[in-house]
């Protein structure tokens, strides 16, 4: 049987995997995670309709766009993007191994690496189709129309940033999922252990995190009060935009390549 | 791909396309604010011309009814003069005026023609016929402009043709506009042609950020500084502020926040440094006086990037000190 080209095979796997990913049990988890900020924005909107400020810093009202900025920082970039990257990225190959269905994919006349690339693209489409509309809804709930022309550019940067974050975290965790035996645990330790601790420490170790470069690209300033100002103090050291983009692109390409190589070479032993 | 997946992709894609489309239209073509939401600030802003550099608002009713006003009421001068004015005009400032909006449009040189640049919009209950009759008695003329009654007063002693006559326009049943003839006519045109300050995105952004204030002012600092005719030595020393806002809430005490937006982050940092020094000095000076110390402690400097904000609160203890001082002077 003639073997399909790499990209045709990837597209076939993408078609198959997108539906599977969207209608899996994980989607409920994703809906909850992404629905949280929407619900929060809705509460803020209702509270502000009654003339009460939803967020105050130093006695000053934080305007809608300020709250949106805080949500992008703390909810989307620091939590939702890594968590989706971990849960979906590590499962790309691990699920097939666990369900013992990987054999069916590997016996098809397609390059093995195309299975991972197709699944990775499906992950990216699936998460982007859920996260970006959620960000859009949060933005329109929080930011008044009068502020739209001045803030819309930042929204586009935010959306690009979230897309980049999902792509890089997905690539890193796709590699972890393909290479390691307990990828979810390792992924969680990396995203919520290593990254959090190292970012708070002085020194060069933070350069070995994704969050360090992602944060450098965020167009929003954190409000300087209490916990927020402590956080800002932690993240004050930031690399130039070009350097951040270069490192994130390098992470994406290198880890996706490594993940593909691992899938092509590794012998997956299915437990009986 | 199943139909279910296709529908999902179509719906989420549609949300993105609609949102991006609306944002792009608003950014590049200037979506009118009123299409989807009511504009921030009072309705009278629709009478403020689009070229206004400063807009200020006061809820006179709130301020008059505040505990602060009641506290200082007994120290006010005699009511005789006030009663005479009321008898003539039928207007009691305390009861008949609800809100006042003031605007400044620095077209020419502020230093040489300040009256021509101001516009005052007062909302309340006015006896138009009585005011008109009184104005006619004093030599004013009454005419219609775009269907609104306009009382114009020509100052016979003034022969300078550069200065405009002053006018009062009854623009709505409960709203009068006061200023130079040009300003009042511009106010009527601003509302009629829908070319008013509500369309000024930057100004309205600052107005929308004001929270629970019964008196506020926002404006373009560089526009007024440029027209104020300041000596070069002073102008060159002024901080590079582009926009400013001041908002206050008057009740038992007075609390508020002053905000400034500078040309760049460096100017903002310089301004913050200067203010930090002044705050430290104020705290040192207030050290031994309990009331003043509370006031000094309430001064909080904040801001990021190009923004500088200074919030303050004058507590009732400080007002008691001031009240005591005022009473002491009166006694002397």
| Closest residue on chain A to B3 (Cα) | A19
Residues in A closer than 8 angstroms to B45, CB to CB, are none
> What is the distance between the alpha carbons of residues A23 and A20, in angstroms, rounded to a whole number?
6
What is the pLDDT at residue A225? Answer: 43
Residues B217/B57, Cβ–Cβ less than 8 Å: yes
Answer whether A58 sits within 8 Å of B255, measured CB to CB. no
Q: What is the mean pLDDT of each run of 10 residues along chain A (272 residues)?
A: 79 86 82 88 82 59 74 87 91 82 82 89 91 91 76 86 93 90 87 85 82 80 47 62 90 93 82 65
Residue A272 inside a domain? The answer is no
In a domain, A185, yes or no: yes
Residue at A191 is within a domain: yes
Range of the domain at A123: 6-265
Query: Would the CB atoms of A225 and B13 count as touching at under 8 Å?
Result: no
Distance CA B220, CA B238 (A): 14
Instruction: Check residues B39 and B273 and name the one with the higher pLDDT.
Output: B273
- B241 near B53, Cβ under 8 Å? no
Strand B118-124 versus strand B97-104 pairing type = antiparallel
Nearest to A60 among B35, B40, B309 (CB): B309
Out of B5, B39, B303, the one facing A22 most closely (by C-beta) is B5
Q: What is the pLDDT of residue B205?
A: 75
In a domain, A270, yes or no: no
Nearest CA to B181 out of B151, B159, B160 is that of B151
Chain A: closest CA distance from residue B295 (Å)? 15
DSSP letter (8 states) at residue B49:
B
Query: Residue A271 falls within a domain, yes or no?
Result: no
Which pLDDT score, from 0 to 100, does residue B90 have? 76
Question: Considering all CA atoms of chain B, what is the largest pairwise distance in Å, rounded to the nearest integer?
Answer: 91
Touching A: B residues 186-205, CB under 8 Å:
201-202, 204-205
Check if the beta carbon of residue A171 is closer than 8 Å to that of residue A252: yes
* Higher pLDDT among residues B309 and B29, named by residue: B309
Computed on alpha carbons and rounded to an integer, the radius of gyration of chain A in Å comes to: 20
Residue B90 half-sphere exposure toward CB, CA atoms < 13 A: 12
Structural domain total, chain A: 1
Using CB atoms, pick whichever of A129, A147, A223 lies closest to residue B12: A129
pLDDT of residue A97: 80
Query: B61: Cβ–Cβ under 8 A, 6 or more apart, which residues?
Result: B97, B98, B99
Q: Which residues contact B2 (CB under 8 A, 6 or more apart)?
A: A19
pLDDT digits (tens, 9 = 90+) for B151-208: 888 776 665 656 678 888 898 888 899 988 888 888 898 888 877 888 777 787 788 7
Instruction: Determine contact: B299 vs chain A, CB below 8 A.
Output: no
**Token couple for A202:** 């002085």
Asked if B258 reaches chain A (Cβ–Cβ under 8 Å), the answer is no
CB-CB contact of B308 with B271 (8 Å): yes
C-alpha closest to that of A223 among A77, A71, A76 = A71
- Count CB atoms within 10 A of the CB of residue B320: 12
User: Residue B322: pLDDT band by 50, 70, 90 thresholds?
Assistant: low
DSSP category for residue A23? T
Q: Which of B27, B211, B302 sits opposite A149 (nearest CB)?
A: B27
In a domain, A1, yes or no: no
pLDDT per position as a tens digit, B52-93: 888 999 888 888 887 777 776 666 656 666 677 777 777 777
Q: Which pLDDT score, from 0 to 100, does residue B294 have? A: 73
Condensed to tens digits (0 to 9), the pLDDT of residues B251-262 reads: 777 778 888 888
Q: What is the DSSP letter of A191?
A: I
Counting one residue from chain A and one from chain B, the pairs whose CB atoms sit within 8 A come to 105
Residue in B45, B61, B53, B49 with CA at minimum distance from that of residue B208: B45
pLDDT of residue B35: 45
Write down the pLDDT at residue A228.
45
- The more confidently predicted of residues B38 and B11 is B11
β-pairing, B166-172 vs B175-180, is antiparallel
Question: What is the total residue count of chain B?
Answer: 332
Q: Is the pTM value of this prediction over 0.80?
A: no
């Amino acid at each position: 049987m003639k073997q399909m080209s790499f990209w045709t095979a990837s597209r076939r796997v993408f078609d198959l995997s997108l539906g599977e990913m969207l209608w899996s049990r994980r989607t409920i988890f994703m809906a909850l995670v992404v629905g949280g900020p929407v619900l929060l924005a809705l509460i803020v909107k209702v509270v502000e309709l009654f003339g009460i400020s939803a967020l105050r810093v130093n006695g000053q009202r934080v305007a809608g766009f300020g709250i949106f900025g805080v949500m992008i920082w703390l909810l989307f970039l620091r939590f939702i993007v890594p968590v989706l990257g971990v849960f979906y990225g590590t499962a790309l190959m691990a699920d097939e191994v666990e369900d013992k269905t990987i054999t069916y994919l590997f016996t098809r006349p397609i390059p093995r690496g195309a299975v991972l690339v197709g699944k990775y693209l499906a992950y990216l489409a699936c998460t982007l189709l859920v996260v970006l509309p959620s960000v859009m809804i949060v933005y329109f709930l929080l930011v008044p129309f009068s502020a739209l022309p001045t803030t819309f550019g930042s929204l586009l940067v935010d959306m690009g940033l979230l897309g980049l974050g999902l792509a890089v975290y997905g690539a890193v965790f796709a590699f972890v999922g393909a290479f390691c035996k307990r990828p979810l645990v390792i992924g969680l330790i990396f995203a919520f252990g290593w990254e959090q601790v190292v970012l708070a420490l002085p020194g060069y170790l933070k350069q070995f995190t994704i969050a360090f470069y992602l944060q450098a690209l965020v167009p929003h300033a954190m409000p300087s009060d209490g916990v927020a100002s402590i956080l800002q103090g932690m993240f004050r050291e930031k690399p130039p935009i070009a350097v951040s983009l270069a490192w994130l692109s390098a992470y994406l390409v290198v880890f996706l390549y490594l993940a593909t190589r691992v899938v092509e070479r590794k012998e997956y032993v299915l437990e009986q | 791909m199943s139909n279910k997946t296709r529908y999902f992709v179509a719906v989420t894609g549609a949300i993105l396309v609609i949102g991006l489309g609306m944002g792009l239209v608003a950014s590049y073509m200037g979506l009118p604010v009123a299409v989807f939401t009511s504009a921030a600030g009072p309705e009278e802003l629709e009478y403020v011309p689009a070229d206004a550099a400063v807009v200020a608002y006061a809820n006179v009713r709130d301020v008059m009814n505040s505990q602060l006003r009641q506290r200082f009421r007994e120290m006010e001068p005699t009511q005789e003069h006030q009663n005479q004015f009321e008898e003539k005009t039928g207007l009691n400032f305390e009861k008949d005026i609800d809100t006042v909006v003031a605007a400044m449009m620095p077209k020419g040189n502020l230093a040489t023609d300040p009256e021509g640049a101001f516009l005052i919009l007062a909302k309340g209950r006015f006896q138009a016929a009585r005011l008109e009759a009184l104005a006619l008695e004093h030599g004013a003329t009454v005419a219609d402009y775009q269907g609104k009654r306009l009382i114009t007063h020509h100052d016979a002693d003034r022969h300078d043709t550069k200065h405009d006559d002053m006018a009062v326009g009854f623009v709505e049943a409960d709203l009068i506009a006061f200023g130079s003839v040009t300003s009042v006519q511009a106010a009527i045109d601003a509302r009629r042609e829908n070319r008013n300050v509500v369309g000024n995105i930057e100004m309205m952004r600052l107005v929308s950020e004001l929270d629970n204030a019964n008196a506020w002012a926002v404006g373009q600092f560089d526009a007024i500084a440029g027209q104020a005719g300041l000596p070069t030595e002073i102008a060159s020393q002024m901080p590079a502020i582009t926009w400013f806002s001041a908002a206050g809430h008057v009740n038992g005490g007075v609390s508020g926040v002053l905000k400034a937006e500078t040309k760049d982050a460096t100017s903002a940092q310089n301004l913050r440094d200067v203010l930090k020094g002044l705050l430290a000095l104020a705290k040192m000076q207030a050290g031994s006086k309990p009331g003043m110390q509370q006031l000094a402690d309430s001064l909080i400097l904040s801001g990021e990037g190009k923004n500088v904000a200074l919030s303050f609160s004058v507590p009732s203890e400080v007002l008691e000190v001031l009240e005591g001082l005022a009473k002491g002077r009166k006694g002397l």
